[in-house]
């Protein structure tokens, strides 16, 4: 685990937010469930700069309390799903 990933997970722990919380996404009638941990782990595979942007955005979301955290992970989860689905589209 890299330092930025550790900071993200520690930040959630400090705010008493369960890293195993899950969000369901309905994509064309099929439900995809992503945990906060999965979303963090996946974004930590990105470039160093992207990891720092993710951490900064997460820090801002924690300042908005639970609603900010949920919205943050909903948005990040949607981004992951859109990226994944766009890679699987045949042209």
CA-to-CA distance for 48 and 32, rounded, in angstroms? 27
Q: What range defines the domain where residue 53 resides?
A: 3-87
Per run of 10 residues, the mean pLDDT along the chain (length 91 residues) is 94 94 91 95 93 95 83 94 69 44
Burial of 32 (0-12, 13-18, 19+ CB in 10 A): middle
pTM: 0.87
Specify the pLDDT at position 86. 65
Q: Tell me what pLDDT residue 18 has.
A: 95
Spatial separation of the C-alpha atoms in residues 78 and 87, rounded to whole Å: 14
Cα 5 from Cα 70, distance rounded (Å): 18
pLDDT value for 91: 44
Domain count for the chain:
1
């Amino acid at each position: 685990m890299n330092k930025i990933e550790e900071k993200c997970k520690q930040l959630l722990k400090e705010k008493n937010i369960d890293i195993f919380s899950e969000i369901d996404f309905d994509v064309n009638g099929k439900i995809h469930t992503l945990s906060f941990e999965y979303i963090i782990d996946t974004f930590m595979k990105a470039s160093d700069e992207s990891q720092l942007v993710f951490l900064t955005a997460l820090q801002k979301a924690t300042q908005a309390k639970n609603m900010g955290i949920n919205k943050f992970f909903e948005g990040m989860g949607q981004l992951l799903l859109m990226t994944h689905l766009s890679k699987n589209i045949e042209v």
